[in-house]
C-alpha cells in the first residue's frame, strides 16, 4: 500500500555573521580621553588640597610642628629664600649653641627670626642667647631672652615650597584659583553629559 504524504524538507538558514565591532569616532575617543584627563587632574587636586590642609592646619594646631617660609638669605646655604622649614618644640632649657631656632627678636617689630645659636649667655628657665645667620659676617646685634617654656628648633628644610605659598598669596593668583577650579569641574561635568553613548544593538 502506498503512502499518501511525502517527507517535507526545510532549508536551514545559514548562521548569522557576528556583529561588526563598534568603532568609536575619533571625536568621541578624543572627548573620552579629555574627560579621563580632567577626572585625573581633579582627583590629584583634591588629594593635594587634603594633604596641604592636613600639613598646614592640623599639625600646627596640635602643636606638633610649625611651618615657616624663609624670606631672606641670612641662613644660606643652610636654607634659602622660598624654602619652608619645619620647626618642632623642645624645652627651652635644652637650647644649645649650634642649634637653629625660631624666636621673636627683642627689638623693632619683634618678627620671628630663624638663626643659629652661637652662645648661651644665661641658662635656666629663661635663657639669654646670641644668634647669628650662617650667611652673616657678624652676630645679631641683640641679646634675646627666651621667655616661653618652649623653643622651636629647625628639623627639616623643604626646598622651594615657600615660593609656591608666596605666589599663591598674590591677589591675582587667588582669583584665578577661585574661578579656575570651578570652571574646570564644570567643563568636566558638561563633557560627561554631552559625550555620546555607544548605540545598543538588539540581539538577533
- The model's pLDDT over 62-110, given as tens digits with 9 standing for 90+, comes to 888 998 999 899 999 999 999 999 999 999 999 999 999 999 999 999 9
> Are 174 and 155 in the same domain?
no
State the CATH number of the domain containing residue 87.
2.10.109.10
User: What residues are paired with 129 via a beta bridge?
Assistant: 120, 144
> Are 98 and 84 in the same domain?
yes
User: Which residue has better confidence, 19 or 183?
Assistant: 183
> Are 166 and 126 in the same domain?
no
| Res. 175 pLDDT band, cuts 50 70 90 | confident
User: What residues are paired with 114 via a beta bridge?
Assistant: 102
100 three-state secondary structure: strand
The domain in which residue 138 lies consists of 66-159
> Are 83 and 107 in the same domain?
yes
Residue 40 confidence (pLDDT) above 70: yes
Whether residue 138 lies inside any domain: the answer is yes
pTM: 0.61
| Res. 1 pLDDT band, cuts 50 70 90 | very low
Domain count, the chain: 2
Alpha-carbon span 176 to 4, nearest angstrom: 93
> Are 132 and 177 in the same domain?
no
User: Which residue has better confidence, 35 or 94?
Assistant: 94
| Res. 38 pLDDT band, cuts 50 70 90 | confident
> Are 74 and 105 in the same domain?
yes
Whether residue 155 lies inside any domain: the answer is yes
pLDDT value of residue 14? 63
Whether residue 86 lies inside any domain: the answer is yes
Whether residue 95 lies inside any domain: the answer is yes
Whether residue 150 lies inside any domain: the answer is yes
Whether residue 99 lies inside any domain: the answer is yes
> Are 130 and 179 in the same domain?
no
> Are 116 and 186 in the same domain?
no
Whether residue 186 lies inside any domain: the answer is yes
> Are 123 and 154 in the same domain?
yes
> Are 130 and 189 in the same domain?
no
pLDDT value of residue 140? 97
Whether residue 38 lies inside any domain: the answer is no
Alpha-carbon span 154 to 131, nearest angstrom: 14
> Are 98 and 170 in the same domain?
no
Contact 83, 162 (CB under 8 A): yes
> Are 177 and 135 in the same domain?
no
pLDDT value of residue 6? 47
pLDDT value of residue 177? 67
Amino acid at each position: 500500500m502506498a503512502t499518501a504524504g511525502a517527507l517535507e524538507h526545510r532549508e536551514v538558514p545559514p548562521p548569522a555573521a557576528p556583529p561588526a565591532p563598534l568603532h568609536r569616532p575619533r571625536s568621541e575617543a578624543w572627548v573620552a580621553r579629555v574627560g579621563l584627563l580632567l577626572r585625573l587632574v581633579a582627583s590629584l587636586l583634591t588629594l593635594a588640597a587634603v594633604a596641604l590642609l592636613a600639613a598646614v592646619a592640623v599639625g600646627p594646631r596640635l602643636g606638633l610642628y610649625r611651618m615657616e617660609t624663609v624670606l631672606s638669605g641670612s641662613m644660606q646655604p643652610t636654607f634659602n629664600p622660598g624654602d619652608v622649614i619645619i620647626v618642632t618644640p623642645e624645652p627651652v632649657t635644652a637650647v644649645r649653641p649650634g642649634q637653629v631656632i625660631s624666636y621673636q627678636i627683642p627689638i623693632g617689630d619683634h618678627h620671628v627670626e630663624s638663626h643659629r645659636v652661637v652662645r648661651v649667655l644665661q641658662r635656666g628657665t629663661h635663657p639669654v642667647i646670641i644668634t647669628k645667620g650662617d650667611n652673616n659676617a657678624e652676630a645679631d646685634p641683640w641679646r634675646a631672652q627666651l621667655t616661653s617654656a618652649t623653643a622651636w628648633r629647625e628639623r627639616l628644610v623643604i626646598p622651594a615650597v615657600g615660593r609656591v605659598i608666596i605666589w599663591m598669596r598674590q591677589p591675582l593668583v587667588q582669583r584665578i584659583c577661585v574661578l579656575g577650579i570651578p570652571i574646570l569641574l564644570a567643563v568636566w561635568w558638561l563633557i560627561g553629559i554631552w559625550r555620546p553613548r555607544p548605540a545598543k544593538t538588539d540581539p538577533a
